[in-house]
Amino acid sequence: MKECVLVTGGAGYIGSHTAVELIEAGFDVVIADNLSNSDMGAVEGVRKITGADVPFVQVDTCDRAAFEKVFEKYSFNSVIHFAASKAVGESVAQPLMYYRNNLTSFINVVELMKQYGRPNVVFSSSATVYGEADTLPVTERTPRKPATSPYGNTKQMCEDILRDSVAAYPGLRGIALRYFNPVGAHPSALIGELPRGVPNNLVPFITQTAAGIRECLSVFGDDYNTPDGSCVRDYIDVVDLAKAHVVAIARMTQGKSKADYEIFNIGTGKGVSVLELVRTFEEVNHLKLNYKIVERRAGDVESIWADTTLANDELGWHAERTLDQTLRAAWEWEKHVRGIK
């Protein structure tokens, strides 16, 4: 019998790519999502890419009674919990919404996994937990800094909820994956990132500018203490990131975890500046991007990239796709969405 994985938030950007990779690796998948930041297009994309009739349940994971029905109906041993609100600025404006959605949903996940004797929990964490790190690259042992947004705080709190729960409840295991900057799209161009409204993140802003939906990309600052003055990040291809979830699940289902709670950085291990990324996007897609340098954005850290040694050695996972491939795929996806030839 195939191992089954519940993917909460599986209609979203990273969840849909992960569902594809899980299915292609031989897992069964159930997607649960309330479609608050997504639509059925991604689920249909997953079905089309894989040819699998993936079950989808529209449910709010904060609604414990409704969510429990998913546990009654499907016999998965593992959950990957993507379902959360993720906009940093919005979390500053609406902290209670973020605390309610991100904490309640995760507490429900862990409680129900415990109650139904389902052992394996993977949590979507973020490099945001490191804040402005004192040393680079950051390892999993680099101290977390106090969160600078309610969103970041929910990531730290959920990590702690998972750590404390696996310590208290025998039979429960957890892995927190700290994603760096997920970018790109599936090579089929059938699924990708589809932000609502004006994108907050760099790559969707770039692709929308190239598509003529945004007039001009604002590069936030060129006076940082970095080689070209713009901020440095670790841009991880979403397909590589999705594959990291597959190996995390396999590690737990095969009993290979070295501790009941483990944390892994998921990045490329390489820092890329905003201006480098813009130039690469232009080069690989043979176009000119309209951009200007503006003031720094409040709250941005100057530089961060991952030390991925632990994920490389322990999970046997490496980022494989090049930035060129990633930025080509991002543009192919945008063209697909906008009907551009």
Which chain residues interact with ligand NAD by CB under 6 A?
9, 11-15, 33-38, 60-62, 82-86, 101, 105, 124, 126, 179, 182
Alpha helices in the chain (DSSP H): 13-24, 40-50, 64-73, 88-93, 95-98, 105-115, 150-168, 202-210, 238-253, 274-285, 309-310, 323-338
As a whole number of angstroms, the distance between CA 20 and CA 242 comes to: 8
Q: Is 126 in the site for ligand WQD (CB under 6 A)?
A: yes
Q: Is 253 in the site for ligand WQD (CB under 6 A)?
A: no
Task: Name which of 41 and 229 has its Cβ closer to ligand NAD.
Answer: 41
Closest by Cα among 255, 47, 259, 231 to 127: 231
Window 12-71: residues binding ligand WQD (CB under 6 A): none
Catalytic, 116? Answer: no
106 contacts which partner out of ligand NAD, ligand WQD, none, CB within 5 to 8 A by kind?
none
Selected range binding ligand WQD among 157-165, 215-223, 257-265, 322-330, rule: CB under 6 A: 215-223
- Active-site choice (13, 130, 151, 224): 151
Whether cis (ω within 30° of 0) applies to the bond prior to 137 is: yes
Selected range binding ligand WQD among 25-33, 212-220, 236-244, 257-265, rule: CB under 6 A: 212-220
60 contacts which partner out of ligand NAD, ligand WQD, none, CB within 5 to 8 A by kind?
ligand NAD
DSSP-assigned states of every residue in 70-121: HHHH---SEEEE--S---HHHHHH-HHHHIIIIIIHHHHHHHHHHHTT--EE
Q: Is 186 in the site for ligand WQD (CB under 6 A)?
A: no
Q: Are 27 and 4 in contact (CB under 8 A)?
A: yes
Window 267-326: residues binding ligand WQD (CB under 6 A): 274, 297, 300
Closest by Cα among 75, 73, 22 to 49: 22
Instruction: Sort 244 into a burial class: Cβ within 10 Å, 0-12 / 13-18 / 19+.
Output: buried
Selected range binding ligand WQD among 52-60, 104-112, 213-221, 282-290, rule: CB under 6 A: 213-221
- For the annotated catalytic residues, the residue numbers are 151
Residue numbers at the binding site for ligand WQD (CB under 6 A) = 86, 88, 126, 128, 181, 200-202, 205, 217-220, 231, 233, 274, 297, 300
